[in-house]
Amino acid sequence: MLTFYEEIMVLLLHDENGTFLPVSEHTLNRALTGAVLMDLAFANRIDTDPEQLMVIDTNPTGDPLLDRTLARIAGEKSTADSRAWIETLSAEEASASHDATIRATALEKLVERGVLQRQEEKFLWVFRSRRYPTIDGKVEQEAKKRISDVLFSDEIPDPRDVALICLVDSCNILRTIYSKREIDRVEPRIEQIRKMDLIGREMAGAIADIERAIAIAAAHTF
């Protein structure tokens, strides 16, 4: 199973040429930061209340990126809510060295899984352009199918699909996947999905709080 942060990267890559869809750095950083927090919430490592995001289990998840973020939050002495953590972590993401970013980690993992391949092209013998064409298109197709199956039906969705849709919609990524006509058609369904409590009270609260924080932070880019 892919993590949320891996699924975000898969959804943002063109199938054939391996370049990124037009999403701003600001939005992408917050989407990936929110995805990491979503992963930690689903792993029962963090929870939220109206005033703070808190660690409820410090045991490692086995994913180095998630564990690094978990340790970062657990090591903070002062309290902060979800929005503050998204702003803090996304700022750290923006200033991190290339190899230490969530984006680079996700792409490396997807290459190792055989989902993507890495291609580098040299311009003027100096500048390099890196692309990630899809090897296994089933992964991206499956992620998009899961989203479409939920949005274009009345079936009760899986909790992870609810979280993924809320995550990509909060950062406006759905509009890079579907046309405006399709978005207009499914807007009522998206609103319905946002109100679903399928994860359990504590988990639903954490996911909803993270989602709202991402939406508020990302709103400054639109």
Q: Do 199 and 43 touch, CB atoms closer than 8 A? A: no
Average pLDDT of 182-191? 91
- Residue with the bigger pLDDT between 6 and 50: it is 6
- Residue with the bigger pLDDT between 40 and 134: it is 40
- Among 5-19, 110-124, 125-139, 147-161, the range scoring the smallest mean pLDDT is 125-139
Q: Could you say which DSSP state residue 19 is in?
A: P
The b/e string for 96-124 (b: 16+ C-beta within 10 A; e otherwise) is: eeeeebbbebbbebbeeeebbeeeeeeee
pLDDT bucket at 137, cuts 50 / 70 / 90: low
Task: Tell me what pLDDT residue 198 has.
Answer: 43
Q: What is the pLDDT of residues 68-120, one digit of tens each?
A: 999 999 999 888 888 788 888 988 888 877 767 898 899 889 888 888 776 66
Q: Token pair 């680079």 is at which residue?
A: 104
Task: Tell me what pLDDT residue 83 has.
Answer: 79
Number of domains in the chain: 1
Average pLDDT of 193-219? 58
Q: Print the domain residue range for 15.
A: 4-221
CB burial class (10 A; 0-12, 13-18, 19+) of residue 68? middle
**CATH, residue 200:** 1.10.3630.10
User: For the whole model, what pTM was predicted?
Assistant: 0.78
Q: What is the pLDDT of residues 42-66, one digit of tens each?
A: 999 998 776 788 999 999 999 999 9
The secondary structure of 151-209 as a DSSP string is HTS-SPPPHHHHHHHHHHHHTTTHHHHS-HHHHHHHHHHHHHHHT---S-HHHHHHHHH
Return the bridge partners of 131, or none. Answer: 119
